[in-house]
Each structure stands twice: as C-alpha cells, then as structure tokens.
Amino acid sequence: MTATLIDGKAIAARMVEEVRAEAADLAARGWAPRLVSISVGDVAAAELYVRNQQRQAEAAGVAFEARNYPATISLEQLTGVMIGLNADPRVNGIIIQRPLPPHIPVKALQKAVHPLKDVEGMHPSSIGNIVYNDLALGPCTAVAAVEILKTLPLNIEGLDVCVIGHSEIVGKPIAFLMMGLGATVTVCHHMTRQVAVHSRAADAVFVAVGKPGLVTGAMLKPGAALIDIGINRVEGKTVGDADFESCAKVAGWITPVPGGVGPVTVATLLKNAVLATRMQMDHYSAAFAVER
Amino acid sequence: MTATLIDGKAIAARMVEEVRAEAADLAARGWAPRLVSISVGDVAAAELYVRNQQRQAEAAGVAFEARNYPATISLEQLTGVMIGLNADPRVNGIIIQRPLPPHIPVKALQKAVHPLKDVEGMHPSSIGNIVYNDLALGPCTAVAAVEILKTLPLNIEGLDVCVIGHSEIVGKPIAFLMMGLGATVTVCHHMTRQVAVHSRAADAVFVAVGKPGLVTGAMLKPGAALIDIGINRVEGKTVGDADFESCAKVAGWITPVPGGVGPVTVATLLKNAVLATRMQMDHYSAAFAVER
C-alpha cells in the first residue's frame, strides 16, 4: 500500500468541535439548535442508526427528538406533521429517516420540509441554491465527500475530477460543488462507455454507485485521490465501491470504508443543523427589524 | 465546409406549432396562457427584444403584456408587484427583462417569482427540479441547446459530451439535462487546464462562454456536433463562441449564429409558458377537487 489513508473520524471530530462552539453561541442567543427526526413504521435497522445520530447530536450540543409514527399513517397526515414542524420556531431542522413505507413517497415528504429547515439538503431549492453557488444547506453525503477532498494538499482550481455515479443526492451535487470550487468535472454512470478512460485521467475520483469492487487500481492515475462513498455488505463486512487493495497501491490518498465518508456525513448533518438555526435566527431578526 | 448546418429557425417553427396547439387547447378550457414582461428603466435595446418576444408570443396564441417601470422603482415596490402577479390567476408566467438598474439585484427578483410561473426557469427550485430529473420549467437557453442536440441522429445514452462554460443558467443546467438523458458529461471553464483535451474527446460540444473564436476546428473530434450558444458583437456582426470557418470543416453538425440556438430559445420560453399554464390549471383543479 502506497496511498495515505484518509482519517474520516479525525476530520469529523474537528467539524463536530466547530459545531459545538457554534451551537453554544446560538444557545446563548436563545436559539439552541434542535432537530426532529421522523421515522415511520417498525424499522429496527433504522432505529440503531437514529439512536447513533441522536447520541452524536447531543454530544455536539444539538437537541434531538426522535419521533416514530405508525406504518398506517397517511401521506396527508404526515404532511400535516411537517407543516406543524415548519411553523414551530423551536424546531430548526427536520430529518426524514429512510426507508419509508411504499405509500409515503420520500420526495413528496422532502418537498414539504421548509427549505430553511432542510438540514439534509434534499429540497429542490436547496439543490438549486448549490447550483447557484449560494452558501446553503447541501446534501450531507455529497458535502462530506467534498469536505474530505478539501483537507488534502491539492489545488482544486483546475483539478481534473471524475465522479462515478450520477444520483440526484450524491453524484450530481458533488459535481456542482466541485465545479463551484473550480474543478473540471466529468460525471460517469452506468451508461458511460468506458469509465476507465475518464477515471484514469482524473486527479481525484469520487465513487458513489453501490457496487463493491467497481473501481480497481488499474482505473486510477497514480497518485490520485480516491473518495469512496459506497456502503455495501459483503460476507458480513461493510465495504465501499472500490477494490481497496488494488486501489491503495495506485492512489495517493484513499478513504477507508467504514471510517471514511460515513463519520463526516454525520458531522455535516450537525453542521447543517447549526447553519439552519443561524439562518432562521437571522430570518426572524430581519423580519422583526422591518416591523419596527 | 463538411458540417451539416443546423437550422434553428426550422426547429423553432416546429416547436411554436406545438405551442400554438397547446395554447388553443388551454384557451378552450378557460386557461388562455398569458405572460407578463417586466422591464425597468429606459432600455432601448431591450425594448426591441421585448417587442420581438411579444410578436412571437402573440403569433403562438400566448398573450403578452409588456410592463415598463421607471428606473426609480425600489426593490421593495418591485417585489410587491411580483407578489401581485404571483397571486393573479390570469397571469401564467413572469419574464424579468435584463439589464436591470444596479439597485435591483436580478437574483432577488427571480426568487420572488412563484416557481409555477417561472417561465424563464431561473428560480432555485426550478434548477433543483432539473437536477431531480422532474419535468419542470428549465432555463430557456440551456433547454433550447439540448433540444437542438436531440434533433440530431445521435444516441445520447453514453454519448461523450463536453460543456464549455459553467454558468448557473446555461452551462450547468445543460450538464444536468444531458446527464439526465444518459450522456457522460465533462464541464470545462476558465480554470480548466486543457480544454482541448476534453473537447477533442467529445461527440458533442456545447460552448457558452461569450468569447468569439474560443473553439477552433483543431479542438474538435471529426464528426462531432457543435452547439454554439455564444452571442458576441464583432465589427458590427453577431458571432458565436466558435471560429465558424475552421469548426465547420471538422464538425459533423454545427449551429450558426445567428439562426441557431437563439430562435429555439424564444420557442422554449413559449413552450414553458404553456407548460406553466397547464401546471397552474392542474394545481387549481387539484385544490378544487380536494375542497369538494
């Protein structure tokens, strides 16, 4: 192995430190940040995940209320819940836990979250604001992957970047975040004729497809950075989309799975929580100042 | 010249034919489409442009009201105007003509347009919906450029596409639209190290920078499609971003400037107008059905 292993946990810990300071400052102004998590039905796997989020949020000074609704709730009822949370100034961010039952389309619910409370960065206007290069709430996984790249000693302006996977909430947002930073970005996906042609020309490769072993060392330029966003279960182990062994021999930097993008994603959610709280505080202050 | 010249006027004429049929159908249902154009100050050049838009809209059965406000109007007053237009069911689309006086930031005004009336496709949520691959109101120039490519006998799935220029309202939306159609897209810009490396590998090149002569024949793969979105004035003539003479010798298809993307952009605005009107009609109908 020649690649430097990227320590996602250390990056996350630094981010959480900043969140804690910001949360304390907001609390001192009467705006202690508070998240509400919505899950629907009896989902044991998700519950573990939610409890982990809650523990990390509270450790960073972000209050966290986990709500679970029965699988029989209708979309209309759940939308009503969202409207209430949107209007409640004591709620600063709304998290919609997946999976949802088939009769609750996740996109309809995401659109019901007020953009100022969209800490997951999934609302169409959040995505659009990123395209417009506005400092806004970005999709957590995409923002986390880019934050990791920013810790490396690379000049991002003019950097040739290859993004493998073009999902709306990971691949595409990574592409426009990197464009906003000045990189030259190519987005590959299942219809791309020769992924290796593009990945081998890139200084940094992001992969977010969900196929273990998709990226091999032969597909990388020697010394490139490889950010692996995949999370797959193989023979009881969690692995990414890269064949770690062969990639680590060629890459300059590589993220492990687990311990790479994962922890930074949770830290990004908390960063969005304090960012959203500050935006709401400023929004209320501005409205108040106008009325005087 | 070996390239086939792409006839933007003919493509636009076919689109306007469809708009006319759709406008007639909407009118028969009591929803005759109607646009309001907002311009501010005494801008002679824009006036010519607006009158041209009006003529084309009316020819397609889309009513068009051109409003001009004095340069002294404040942002608050203009925002108030927008709120009124948003609420008025007889207005189906709002166009904000540029340039605006310096004290009226165009983005603030674009955000004030209701997304369902955003016929220019500039609202952040319109942009985000494109990223989400929803059929929505897209930015006219970007949509027009992609519509032109779709008329060519090329299989867009897996097509290698190079977009030169990464503006929020042209380059980036072209990239997402093409990704949504299955192309492998690279976006180049002023920080890209070697644009030619990317453009020469591409089956289709879009250029939207605003620099005459930026793309030359030597930068193209023989037989590639070149969609030139630039509009520049050089020695009293309107030219694009491509060096037409050298590009036409190498490309398989090329758009002229003028007569390429320009006419299709106006047709796209009118297509958005009928699309917006239908969305509003459906929105009202759905609300009405719920209330019964």
pLDDT digits (tens, 9 = 90+) for A257-268: 999 999 999 999
**B89 with B155, same domain?**
no
User: Which pLDDT value is given to residue B138?
Assistant: 93
Burial of A69 (0-12, 13-18, 19+ CB in 10 A): middle
Tell me the per-residue pLDDT of B205-228, one tens digit each, with 9 for 90 and over: 999 999 999 999 999 999 999 999
- Looking at beta carbons, which pairs linking B264-267 to residues 24 or more positions away fall under 8 Å? B264/B8, B264/B11, B264/B12, B264/B15, B264/B144, B264/B145, B264/B147, B264/B148, B265/B140, B265/B141, B265/B144, B266/B12, B266/B52, B266/B53, B266/B56, B266/B140, B267/B11, B267/B12, B267/B13, B267/B15, B267/B16, B267/B19, B267/B144
Residue B38 structural domain:
29-119
| pLDDT tens-digit series, residues B42-83 | 878 788 889 999 999 999 999 999 999 999 999 999 999 999
Is residue A96 located within the same domain as residue A149? no
Same domain, B108 and B158: no
Looking at the fold, whether A107 and A145 belong to one and the same domain comes out as: no
Q: Does any domain span residue B100? A: yes
Which of B265, B268, B260, B263 is closest to B19 using CA atoms? B268
Task: Give the domain CATH number at B218.
Answer: 3.40.50.720
Q: What is the ipTM of this complex?
A: 0.89
User: Pick the residue with more confidence: A287 or B58?
Assistant: B58
CB contact under 8 A, B158 and A134: no
Sheet with A34-40: list strands edge to edge: A63-69, A34-40, A93-96
Whether the CB of A198 is below 8 Å from some CB of chain B: the reply is yes
- Is there a domain that residue B275 lies in? no
- Evaluate whether residue B19 is within a structural domain: no
* CATH at residue B103: 3.40.50.10860
Annotated binding site of B for NADP(+): 165-167, 231
Number of domains into which chain A is organized: 2
**Could you tell me if A176 and A258 lie in one domain?**
yes
Shared-domain flag, residues A33 and A74: yes
Cβ B192–A184 below 8 Å, yes or no?
Answer: yes
Per-residue model confidence (pLDDT) at position B287: 80
**Residue of higher predicted confidence among B45 and B262:** B262
pLDDT digits (tens, 9 = 90+) for B30-41: 999 999 999 999
> d(Cα A173, Cα A166) in Å, to the nearest integer?
9
- Same structural domain, A99 and A203: no
Looking at the domain assignment, is residue B108 inside a domain? yes
Is any Cβ of chain B less than 8 angstroms from the Cβ of A158?
yes
B109 interfaces chain A, CB cutoff of 8 Å: no
Task: Answer whether A185 sits within 8 Å of B182, measured CB to CB.
Answer: no
Residue range B260-267: mean pLDDT, rounded: 96
Q: A143 to chain B nearest CA, in Å?
A: 16
Q: B178 at the A interface (CB within 8 A)?
A: no
CB pair distance less than 8 Å for A184 and B187: yes
Contact B131 A173 (CB under 8 A): yes
- Per-residue HEC secondary structure of chain A comes to CCCEECCHHHHHHHHHHHHHHHHHHHHHCCCCCEEEEEEECCCHHHHHHHHHHHHHHHHCCCEEEEEEECCCCCHHHHHHHHHHHHHCCCCCEEEECCCCCCCCCHHHHHHHCCHHHCCCCCCHHHHHHHHCCCCCCCCHHHHHHHHHHHCCCCCCCCCEEEEECCCCCCHHHHHHHHHHCCCEEEEECCCCCCHHHHHCCCCEEEECCCCCCCECHHHCCCCCEEEECCCEEECCEEECCECHHHHHHHCCEECCCCCCHHHHHHHHHHHHHHHHHHHHHHHHHHHHHHHC
Q: What pLDDT is recorded for position A1? A: 67
Chain B interface mutation, best of A132, A133, A134, highest count of B Cβ atoms under 10 Å: A132
- Contacts of residue A173 in chain B, CB cutoff 8 Å? 131
Task: Indicate if A102 and A180 belong to the same structural domain.
Answer: no
Q: What are phi and psi of B262, to 5 degrees?
A: -50, -60
User: Is A291 within a domain?
Assistant: no
B156–chain A Cβ distance below 8 A for any pair: no
Q: What is the pLDDT of residues B99-143, one digit of tens each?
A: 999 999 998 999 899 999 999 999 988 888 888 877 689 999 999
Q: Render pLDDT for A158-214 as a digit per residue (tens, 0 to 9).
A: 999 999 999 998 999 999 999 999 999 999 999 999 999 999 999 999 999 999 999
Any idea how long chain B is? 292
| CB-based contact, B80 to chain A, within 8 Å | no
Asked whether residue A241 is assigned to any structural domain, the reply reads: yes
In a domain, B106, yes or no: yes
Q: How confident is the model at residue A144 (pLDDT cuts 50, 70, 90)?
A: very high
B158 and A CB contact within 8 Å: yes
Give the annotated binding-site residues of A for NADP(+): 165-167, 231
Same domain, A241 and A155: yes
> Do residues A105 and A175 both lie within one domain?
no
- How high is the pLDDT of residue B135? 65
From A83, A50, A28, A18, select the one nearest A274 (Cα to Cα).
Answer: A18
**Beta carbons of A128 and B123 less than 8 Å apart:** yes
Q: Is the preceding peptide bond at B99 cis, omega within 30 degrees of 0?
A: yes
| One domain for residues B252 and B148 | yes
- Closest CB to B187: pick one of A158, A185, A193: A185
Q: Let me know: does B62 contact B270? Beta carbons within 8 Å.
A: yes
Proportion of chain B above pLDDT 90, given as a percent: 86
Give, in degrees to the nearest 5, the angle at Cα B175 between A111 and B230: 125
Whether residues B170 and B93 share a domain: the answer is no
Q: What pLDDT is recorded for position A57?
A: 98
Find out whether A57 and A35 touch, Cβ atoms under 8 Å: yes
Q: Does residue A238 carry a pLDDT above 50?
A: yes
- Residue B2 maps to a domain: no
The residue to which tokens 């193209």 are assigned: B220
pLDDT classification of A135: cutoffs 50, 70, 90: low
